[in-house]
Amino acid sequence: MAGNTPMPMPIQTFIHQVQRLHRTGQATEHSYRSAIEQLLHALDDQITALNEPKRVACGAPDFIISRGDIVIGHLEAKDLGVALRGMKGANKAQQERYRQALPNLIYTNGLDWDFYHDGARIASASIGALAPEPQPQPDQFAALEHLLRNFIAQQPQSITSPRELAERMAGKAMLIKDILYNTLSADTEGAHELSGQYHAFREHLIEDIQPADFADLYAETIAYGLFAARLHDTDLTSFSRQQALTLLPKSNPFLRSLFGYIAGIDLDDRIAWIIDDLADVFQAADVKAILANFGRLTGQQDPFLHFYETFLAAYNPAKRKARGVWYTPEPVVQFIVRAVDEVLQREFGLADGLADTSKITIDWDTGQTDKKGRRQTIKKAVHRVQMLDPATGTGTFLAEVIKQIAPKVKDVAPGMWSAYIEQDLIPRLHGLEILMASYAMCHLKLDMILAELGYQPSPSPPRLSVYLTNALEEGAPANQTLLFSQWLTREAKGANAIKRDLPIMCVIGNPPYLGEGGISAGWMGQLMEDYKKEPGGKVKLKERNPKWLNDLYVKFGLDHALVHCC
């Protein structure tokens, strides 16, 4: 009887659909996606397999698999006959990115199925062969059903170690970078808000930045913005990019302003899905517990530095060498900071050394001009002991300065510590950094150190004087006319004030070392040309191998010896 006819297995129904589509002779890779969607839904009617062509075109996998509002995995579908292994070129690079970024992933060509968990292939099934028509292999139907049920049953795993968190962050950040770059490339008319922000970056921060580098920088911004927000989260039961905006510390208005865009409900769906994916990573992590040993301020291990190095090793190991980033051992940092403190006391007669709060009056550029185009200045009192790390990285030197100063103030006037920080420390402790991840980690480190040392911010605390900028570019007045650039303008304006106006007394830190630093143009190029001449400034030095004069540490030495000499 009809009522006793057994229902076909979901896999059997799926293979019949594949055969039917293939017989039309018109089927493409996209033709089989409806059958995949129906297969997953047949296995679990609570499952949604979303395929969004616009998003896929910018680098998303073909399907995002969700149960309700919870994303549980991703699926990449290739055409029949396309080998899932031994891929080359763009397909190979794509698969490597997906495997690193997406912990619950399936690759299929309709007949062959590979299941990847945390980057490793843990199961496979082949339900047919193309010879040349799709020929079913029924003995594998049960294996595929088991594979798929295991795939959709996966639950987010708690993240408990710094390495695991850094590597998960890195995988997502790599995918974010590709999606941002593809979105920029697809916007040929420059109408997308992301394009406006790219041009604002060129105008205000890094004038020679290219789209790929901008996407790289932006991906790091998002990753470390979410990291900072989760670090300040006291409710571990939920986390999202929208919540991140309210959690970011006021000491970093740059990240807060950027996340006003990231957290918006109108964020382009091509970008939003992967940021939400990264937020889910932090949902599974108690960042404070992971960095639990941070309170041991006098220890030899810097967890922020360790975490960043782990992230960079997984995200972009070539970047460290390309930027000449080599970290100074903590004992060396401590020795240098103590030495500067002693020199200020002994040679400059400042009894409090780095903790000195005396002021001087200078001519301060207002940023305005008179009718003849001359820059307008006012008299302004500023602290005498202005300190700058021009390549601050993750803020190791600035953090050590705070630790050196704290006992001098807290032991003498413990009730004045928070007021001292806002009135007499933050206004004279400065850092410049060009790498986004380092910049964000520096803000995090200083914020956490101040909190550990008992700092209680006022209702309207000052921002930390650490800015995203190229220290080797001259501080020019900021252009405030670009549509998307108001928050970038504020960042550039702060950096330019340090470069152009402040009488820096102590340049402290360890500049990047990169012998192949390249030829510089503009302001820095002129400084280098003068440096390469004999003392009279007319004849070039007869160096056997002059390219080594382009080492970044030489340029940083010129920048701050000639411009900020005191």
Distance CA 246, CA 231 (A): 12
For residues 252 and 221, give the distance between their C-alpha atoms in angstroms, rounded to a whole number: 12
- Name every residue whose Cβ is closer than 8 Å to that of residue 28 and which is 6 or more positions away in sequence: 79
Mean pLDDT by 10 residues, the chain (566 residues): 53 93 89 93 90 87 89 93 90 92 94 94 94 90 93 83 88 93 89 85 78 89 88 89 89 83 85 92 86 51 71 76 62 91 94 94 81 83 94 90 92 86 96 82 88 90 89 58 62 83 88 53 55 61 59 51 39
Burial group, residue 189, by CB count within 10 angstroms (0-12, 13-18, 19+):
exposed
Give one DSSP letter per residue of 376-393, joined into a string. EEEEEEEES--EEETT-T
Exposure string of 362-377, with b = 16+ CB inside 10 Å and e = fewer, is eebbeeeeeeeeeeee
Model-level pTM greater than 0.85? Answer: no
Between CA 78 and CA 254 the distance in angstroms is 41
| pLDDT score at 174 | 93
State the maximum Cα–Cα separation within the chain, in Å, rounded to a whole number. 107
By the 10 Å C-beta count (0-12 exposed, 13-18 middle, 19+ buried), 443 is classed as buried
CB 437 within 8 Å of CB 223: yes
Per-residue model confidence (pLDDT) at position 300: 45
| pLDDT for position 12 | 92
Q: What is the pLDDT of residue 551?
A: 53
Q: What is the pLDDT at residue 534? A: 59
| C-alpha dihedral sign at 274, 277, 281, 282 | positive
pLDDT at 398: 95
DSSP state of 354: G
Closest CA to 444 of 221, 214, 154, 261: 221
Q: Would you give the end-to-end CA distance of the chain in angstroms? A: 99
Neighbouring C-beta atoms of residue 446, cutoff 10 Å? 26
3-state DSSP helix/strand/coil % of the chain, to nearest 5: 50, 15, 35
Omega within 30 of 0 (cis) for the link into 511? no
> Rg (Cα) of the chain, in Å, rounded?
28
**What's the rounded Cα separation, in Å, for the pair 408 and 469?**
32
Structure tokens, 202:
């060129």
pLDDT of residue 360: 93
DSSP state of 58: T
CA 223 remoteness from chain centre? 5
Domains of the chain in sequence order: 2-152 (3.90.1570), 162-307 (no CATH), 325-507 (no CATH)
- Please name which of 307, 244, 285, 71 lies closest in space to residue 157, comparing C-alpha atoms: 285
